[in-house]
Amino acid sequence: MPCLVDARGLRCPLPLVKARAALAALAASDTLVVLATDPESPIDLGALASDTGRAFACECADGEWRFELGPVQNR
């Protein structure tokens, strides 16, 4: 089951800070799901996924973002 961070209603940089803290506690094979409403979140969390070598997927519905930072990918 993925780890969930609900950062809806939080402004930049808090969604990123919470996601980074949650990733630190996860194994490389685990998935983190982040829910956010901040418009900067796609940029911040996409960069976090890239920096940590994790798979990244995002979708937006009604102003709410859902991000998935998947297991670490082989580089």
Which residues are catalytic, by number?
Answer: 12
d(CA 45, CA 24): 14
Record the tokens describing residue 9, joined without a space.
Answer: 């209603």
CB atoms within 10 A of CB 59: 9
Record the tokens describing residue 68, joined without a space.
Answer: 């998935």
